[in-house]
Amino acid sequence: MCGIVGYVGPRNATEVVVGGLQRLEYRGYDSAGIAIYDGEAGLQLRRSVGKLINLVNRLNREPAAGAVGIGHTRWATHGGVTEENAHPHRDASGKIVVIQNGIVENYLELKGRLIELGYTFHSQTDTEVIAHLVGHYYTEEGALEPALCRAMAELRGGNAVVALCVDEPDTILAARLGNAGGVVLGLGEGEHFVASDIPAILDYTRDLIFLEDRELARINRNGIVITTLAGAPVRREPVRIQWDPVAAAKGDHKHFMQKEIFEQPRALMDVLRGRIDQEAGTIHLEDLKLDDAALRGIERIYATACGTAWHAALVTKFIIESLARVRVEVDYASEFRYRGPILGNDALLLAISQSGETVDTLAAMEEARSQGVPSVAIVNAIGSQAARLADGGPIYLHAGPEIGVASTKAFTSMIVAGYLFALRLAQARGTLSPAEIRTHIQALLELPGKAAEVIETTSSQCEILAERYHRATDALYLGRQVNYPIALEGALKLKEISYIHAEGYPAGEMKHGPIALIDENLPVICIAPRDSIYDKMISNIEQVKARHGQVIAIGSAGDDFLASKADDTIFIPETLPLLQPVLVSIPLQIFAYHVALLRGCDVDQPRNLAKSVTVE
């Protein structure tokens, strides 16, 4: 959720920290703040409400410089969007500053205790509780590290905390509790970094160490020392990240979302790269730790995820059940662990997540682990918590950083990664013949080219449709079978970036309620490629037209019959039915993007949202 950056080294920490926050702003943009230390100027705190640009403007008026600094971009949890609630927060002495990503679940209890001890609070945040608690123990311990460890021991919930103290100004401390906040440590030459996400420090280093639950890192110019919060030494080798920093920048595109939509042909190639042996007609998933025997032993898969990734899980259910003949149940991760799931020892958990940091998804993985059920994670962020928690191995998307809050390229890559997994299962279980597997492989290999064709042929039409419908107050998306989740996803894309109320529905269910919404003002987006339930979709379109709804159909290239039934038709190339969702998604993304633009919305940073949801 919130973004955290810290720096110690010879550069001006303000530039490194603010630059890092710019890369992390997708994690939260309610307010931003930095604390920079310099021997002469002392501790310089600057905080601003709203987007990071407000902080940058403030820094132009009131510059800050120094060799050590921490910064934070906030997604509000406790307390409104005000400067007092912006991080960093100070302890009572003003010597210690703290930033946090996560939630202190017992903050009211701790706050009450601290108030009784005479501490005064200036904000409504749970983070100020941490600042005072650390300050309180600092007066007893005389050193930041034991003070932070004692404070962390009293917190409940999941947090990443970064602290700086003017009495130990060459060092930043970072501590982590639970799953709610990732902490990445960056290794440089005579300089070191800490951040909540890789893109923040990618300009400076690709050698990274991930801090685990209940660990603490002491970061200074000379190095990074990791211990557990109990003080035991931790040895962990850095990993080298191959991401290109340019991939995390907007380039010539107006928005990250636009760039990421256009990147889909490349992303679809990358998710396939190295995983298909065309000659042998086989699939190889390099990080999968489950061998053929283990794959044959799976009787049931629980696919779990949130938001767009949950839609990918719904699509993946169709794919796995059809190709590998394994039963798949799909759960919202936020519901999964609280429903007391009975998993069984022949089950597999399939977690799907772009960030690999979504706290509910991680909790679902923990639940599986606690029942002795292995998990596999379809995940984009390399080295993320989901990737590390997946004892059955990660299946990386290799889609590169996705910065736009609305997920696009990660979604279509998730479907393809799920497809590869389904084929790998089918290969082990013998549910498809070698010839059938080759047919699927061929279709997968043709998919990136078809995605490029969709972008090429539908972009301007989507722009025209957006012009026509951007004043709508509601929209209905209808699809059936494997395209029903795409109706959900199309509606989610529209509502999250344009703030138009949109609903996705299985088309056959429309007559059981939503049909009452239809009038001449309602755009109804009907996904109707030629497939086994095409005729049913045509009937549903007729039902919408009979009530004067405005039908935008998405169908197979050359389907004039469909075009004669709809007000507008977007054509996509033919592919295998289970791969249609990938191609259908693209015009829906482009349409939502243009509608949002025309409504003057902030496409990359829609209100109230954040890219990585690390709180419950």
Active site residue ranges: 2, 611
| 44 lines the binding site for ligand M6R (CB under 6 A) | no
| Residue 405 within binding range of ligand M6R, rule CB under 6 A | yes
Please tell me the distance from the alpha carbon of residue 134 to that of residue 167, in angstroms, as a whole number: 14
In the list 126, 128, 215, 496, the residue contacting ligand M6R (rule: CB under 6 A) is 496
Choose one: 164-172, 257-265, 302-310, 460-468; the region binding ligand M6R (CB under 6 A): 302-310
- Does 355 sit near ligand M6R (CB under 6 A)? yes
Of 309 and 586, CB closest to ligand M6R: 309
Structure tokens at 23: 């890369």
**Considering the rule CB under 6 A, would residue 220 count as an interface residue with ligand M6R?**
no
CB of 441 to ligand M6R, least distance (A): 26
Q: Quick check: 362 binds ligand M6R (CB under 6 A)?
A: no
Which of the stretches 28-36, 112-120, 402-410, 514-522 binds ligand M6R when contact is defined by CB under 6 A?
402-410
Structure tokens at 422: 């389904």
Is the distance from CB of 593 to CB of 261 less than 8 angstroms?
yes
Say whether residue 308 binds ligand M6R (CB under 6 A). Answer: yes
- Closest residue to ligand M6R, judged by C-beta, is 307
Among 227-235, 275-283, 301-309, 468-476, the segment contacting ligand M6R (CB under 6 A): 301-309
Stretch that binds ligand M6R, among 74-82, 116-124, 305-313, 549-557 (CB under 6 A): 305-313
Stretch that binds ligand M6R, among 151-159, 230-238, 286-294, 404-412 (CB under 6 A): 404-412
User: Considering Cα of 110, then 112, then 114, then 119, what sign does the dihedral take?
Assistant: positive
In the bound complex, what is the minimum distance in angstroms from residue 411's beta carbon to ligand M6R?
8
Closest alpha carbon to 207 in 186, 181, 177? 186
- Considering only residues 59 to 118 of the shown chain, the ones binding ligand M6R according to CB under 6 A are none
Binding flag, residue 413, ligand M6R (CB under 6 A): no
3-state secondary structure 266-300: HHHHHHHCCCEECCCCEECCCCCCCCHHHHHCCCE
| Rounded Cα–Cα distance for residues 100 and 71 (Å) | 10
- Residue 267 as a binder of ligand M6R (CB under 6 A): the answer is no
What is the distance, to the nearest Å, from the Cα of residue 12 to the centroid of all Cα atoms in its chain? Answer: 30
What lies within 8 Å, CB to CB, of 408 at 6+ separation is 257, 260, 261, 264, 402, 493, 585, 589
Strands (DSSP E) found in 335-380 = 347-353, 375-379
Instruction: Tell me whether residue 171 or residue 361 sits nearer to ligand M6R (CB atom).
Output: 361
Question: What is the number of alpha carbons within 13 Å of residue 82 lying toward its C-beta?
Answer: 9
**What residues are paired with 555 via a beta bridge?**
528, 571
Indicate the residue among 48 and 358 with the shorter CB distance to ligand M6R: 358
Binding ligand M6R by CB under 6 A: which of 451, 537, 613, 615?
613
Q: Is 494 in the site for ligand M6R (CB under 6 A)?
A: no
Per CB under 6 A, 1 contacts ligand M6R:
no
Distance CA 559, CA 578 (A): 19
Distance CA 366, CA 389 (A): 8
Sheet with 215-220: strands ordered across = 89-90, 96-104, 157-165, 172-177, 215-220, 223-228
Closest CA to 193 of 179, 211, 176, 181: 211
Q: Which residue lies nearer to ligand M6R by CB, 67 or 350?
A: 350
Closest approach, Cβ 364 to ligand M6R, in A, equals 11
Beta pairing class for 568-572 and 3-8: unpaired
Residue numbers at the binding site for ligand M6R (CB under 6 A) = 306-309, 353-355, 358, 361, 405-407, 496, 609, 612-613
